Chains A and B, each alone.
Chain A
Amino acid sequence: MAASEPAGPPRKELSAFFVVVNGQVESGEFPDDDLYVRYGFSFGPDWTVVDGIETGLSQIARKAPGVDQSVVWNFPVDISFKSTNAHGWPRMSISVYGVDGLGRDVVRGYGSVLIPPFPGGYDRYIHTYVPVPSSLWQRFVSWFTGTYAEFYDSKFVAQGENREVTRVESTGVVKVKFDVLTRGMETLGYQPAHRQVTH
């Protein structure tokens, strides 16, 4: 987690490449109030974190009085990765929690996003969702008691397996900004982004 190997100046015969990700979890739009956000990263076995902090837990953000429905977190993301293989490129998983009237933490949304694999500045909007119970009775019980279903592992949403067993409904949106820098990828034969294409 901590800096095991400093991302120093480029050495001769770089066998690994580095990805530097700076950014922020900027804001969110949810029907609920008093929200905080937790983020983490999932990446393949060839990847290591060389610098920065792997998980983040933001302050509790409140809506401003008025019509504006957004909460502002402005929470920093600052992490650098090292890898020999582009497969398993890191994904950020995010979970939004709220504080209910009894002071309990209730999950308000999960979502994940791929760290952009090419250098540049990006705005990413993560549309979040929460698992819902499949039966009406369970739904009533969870509404009545105020305890909602959660994912056991918040990084579950960054993986592709076993997703079919969950049933979700969408809740809100989180805006995340990324500034990405890659180093040493072209030396390893990776091709830079050709151009932005839209179909």
Chain B
Amino acid sequence: MNLNLQAVTARESEDIFPEVLIMGEVCFGMGFPSARFGLACTWHFQWDEPWVLLEGLSHGQTQIAVASEEHTVRWNHPLNVHFAVRSPLGWPKLVLSVNELDEHGRSHLAGYGFCNLPMISGSSQITISCWRPTGSMRDEVASFFMGNTANLINDDIVCGKAAWKSRCRLVTEPAGKVQIDVEIVMRHCHAHTGRSVWASALPQRNRIRGQGKPNGTESAAYSNRVHGQGKPNGTESAA
């Protein structure tokens, strides 16, 4: 993260760049069919190239919570990330998957879901409706008796590029809902410094600095927008 910070401050030191802070909480899950033995939620933020993570955890896993009588599992998991933003494109999303434990302590997939994060400052309560993929008839019979549900090999299909390509091949069923509270705090995102940063940050040749010359590296960043998969570049997390 420090490296990212240095990279950004070195490049943009003579100018102010917008910052967006996302704080909040993965509050609770409800409506998941088998929450008796515990449910945990694994989450990560997913953003595109113009966003740079400065501080905070971009991925994590909540505690394993056992359902109370009203079928709600309390996660109370803090979210805290700080981004430097060179363009509103690639606004981060929160992607999550919920896992359930069975009576033998084995973990199975309970659901996937994602939400877009609000693009204005303020507080929001977001309810994410989750789904899980269903397998063939045989898989479903097996999952009924054995409990091992079908899961995705790659969760890029949840809201990555693969969603448009491959979602059409899935058959899914609803799983449950996850409640998220987020507070969006923005800095230097407004025209109050005398210029609208967003307006100049739209995908033109020269953004932010306004009247600069066409900047080859920055427009190249647009032609191949890679997914910052909620993880620092290049590090495969040991999930």
Contact = CB atoms under 8 A, between A and B. Distances in A.
B127 A167 contact: no
B78 A112 contact: yes
Contact of A160 (B16, B80, B115, B190): B80
B66 interface: yes
Contacts of A13: none
A197 B120 contact: yes
B65 A168 contact: yes
A192 to B, nearest CB: 7
A6 B123 CA distance: 30
CB-CB nearest 8 A-B residue pairs: A164-B61, A194-B120, A193-B122, A87-B82, A169-B66, A167-B64, A191-B186, A170-B68
B63 A160 contact: no
A193 to B, nearest CB: 4
Interface string A156-194: 011111011011111000000000000000101111111
In terms of DSSP, what is the predominant structure of the interface of chain A? loop
Nearest to B56: A87
Contacts of B126: 199
Q: How large is the interface on A (under 10, 10 to 19, 20 to 34, 35 or more residues)?
A: 35 or more
Interface string A98-138: 00000000000001111011100000001111001010000
Contacts of B192: 186, 189, 191
Contact of B105 (A134, A190, A195): A134
Nearest to A114: B23
30 contacts: A86-B82, A89-B21, A114-B23, A114-B24, A114-B25, A114-B183, A117-B23, A117-B185, A118-B122, A118-B123, A118-B183, A127-B28, A160-B60, A163-B60, A163-B61, A167-B38, A167-B65, A167-B66, A168-B65, A169-B65, A169-B68, A170-B72, A189-B192, A190-B186, A191-B189, A193-B121, A193-B123, A194-B120, A194-B122, A195-B120
A86 B186 CA distance: 10
Given A118-B183, A188-B187, A197-B120, A127 B74 contact: yes
Nearest to A110: B76
Contacts of A146: none
B112 to A, nearest CB: 18
Contacts of A89: 21, 23, 80, 185
B188 A189 contact: yes
Contacts of B120: 194-195, 197
Contacts of B189: 191
B108 interface: no
B66 A117 contact: no
Interface in B38-97: 38, 40, 54-57, 60-66, 68, 72-74, 76-80, 82
A44 B28 CA distance: 25
